[in-house]
Structure 1
Amino acid sequence: MTGNRAGVAVAALLLALVAACGVPGEDRPRAVTPPPGPLPSTATAAPTTAETGAVTEVLYFSRDDKLVPVTRRIDEVPAVEVQLRDLLAGPTQAERDDGLTNALTGALSNAEVELLDRQARVTVTATVAETGSTHEMLAYGQIVCTLTARADVNTVVFLRDGAPLSVPRGDHSLSPDPLTAADYAALITPR
């Protein structure tokens, strides 16, 4: 019987030690006061999206010779003209702080768009001659990727004085044909 008592004593001692290691139980909930000062954060960069609004607007800007999608929260789905105007206006200060730029500045001075049978027809006035440079390629890619991110746009064509305009695709070739984001897939990078 002595071994049995020793086993019970060891079990009781272990039970007492385990019970002493936890948080004491309470009968009712109580308020907990957070520690003073700022709480540590694991965020590495400022977000580039506004967190208000019922719908999203996708715009493509550039960083390091790549196209970067940016999602903004807005109150209603913008008309295609409004979305192009938002793109031409460029990145917000927070987006610029995240390294985003607008390749449209200097490459295109003006652009107007109309939607016809799910095709965005963009009339442009270029500020420089078309060379197929990376800067131009990014500028046209920004427009194509932004507009085809819309549910109501399948392709984008560019016009000057009513005639099709050959613009640089992601592979540096010039094309007067309707374009999609797939034509710039090699340039698109996630945030």
Structure 2
Amino acid sequence: MRRGTALLAVALVAGCGLPADDEPHSVSLPRQPLTAPLPSAVPARPGAYVEILCLVRDGRLVQAVRRIDTPPDAQRHLDDLLAGPDESERDAGMTTALTGLTLTVTRSPGGGEARVEVAETDESKAITDDTLTYGQVVCTLTSRADVSAVVFTRDGARLEVPRANGALSRDPLTGPDYAALITTA
């Protein structure tokens, strides 16, 4: 019975039209990040791009996926997060911890680091030590293919912000720094 199964497997593999290789070799996949722009010769179709926003539900971070018509730059992506959940996301119980904040993102030249300037125009709206607030920004921006880490600043000086485990850091932050707060449901 085993020999028959093995012969059948060999026949199926041989019949698929792929030549057998003696050694493994690398394969280049023709994929690009979901947020990457399409080549200019191909017109974008409505909802052709994906934008991931990290919102809050039941005291935890949850990713919301939106389909949009044009690829957002990092500032637009952050502005969409600051605008809060849309109607369908609110209906799903999502909220935001970013109400009333002004945040500006700049990118480091040639690198994947994003700097988020936290404006302190109104003390009552300033970020204090809310881990979910920082987690929303970090998880949203690092969902982009062109951002690998986020640093928070005020007046150009790095801020000490909390990670999910409560430890404070001035170092660049990444999604895994807030993984303990992310829910998949």
**TM-score computed with the length of structure 1 as normaliser:** 0.67
**Structure 1: segments with no counterpart, 5+ residues:** 1-51
Whether 2:73 is the aligned partner of 1:73: answer no
Contact 1:156 1:179 in 2 (8 A): yes
For residue 122 of structure 1, the aligned residue among 96, 116, 127 is 116
Aligned to 1:163: 157
Equivalent residue, structure 1, for 2:102: 110
Superposed CA RMSD in Å reads 1.5
Partners of 2:117 and 2:132 in 1: CA distance = 17
Distance in 2, Cα, partners of 1:77 & 1:148: 15
Matches within 5 A, 1:94-109: 94-105=88-99, 109=101
Q: Which has the larger radius of gyration?
A: 1
- Once residues 130 and 124 of structure 1 are traced to their aligned partners in structure 2, the CA distance between those partners, rounded to angstroms, is 8
Letter in structure 2 aligned against 1:105 = T
Q: Percent identity?
A: 54
Q: In structure 2, the residue corresponding to 1:87 is in which secondary structure?
A: helix
- Aligned residue pairs total 135
Q: Matches of 1:121 and 1:159 in 2, distance apart?
A: 7
Structure 1 contact 60–146 (Cα < 8 Å) conserved: yes
SS at 2:106 equivalent: strand
- Structure 1 counterpart of 2:43: none
Q: 1:182 aligns with which of 159, 168, 176?
A: 176
Partner residue, 1:141 = 135
Contact 2:127–2:133 (CA under 8 A) maintained in structure 1: no
Tell me the distance in 2 between the aligned counterparts of 1:56 and 1:141.
Answer: 20
Query: 1:177, CA displacement in angstroms?
Result: 0.7
Matched, 1:55 2:49: yes
Q: Decide whether the 8 Å contact of 1:165 with 1:176 is kept in 2.
A: yes
Distance 1:92 1:130 in 2: 22
C-alpha separation in 2, matches of 1:130 and 1:158: 11
AA matched with 2:103:
A
1:15-26 matched pairs, under 5 angstroms? none
**Gap runs ≥5 in structure 2:** 1-45
Q: Is the 8 A contact 2:114 2:147 kept in 1?
A: yes
CA contact (8 A) 1:130 1:167 kept: no
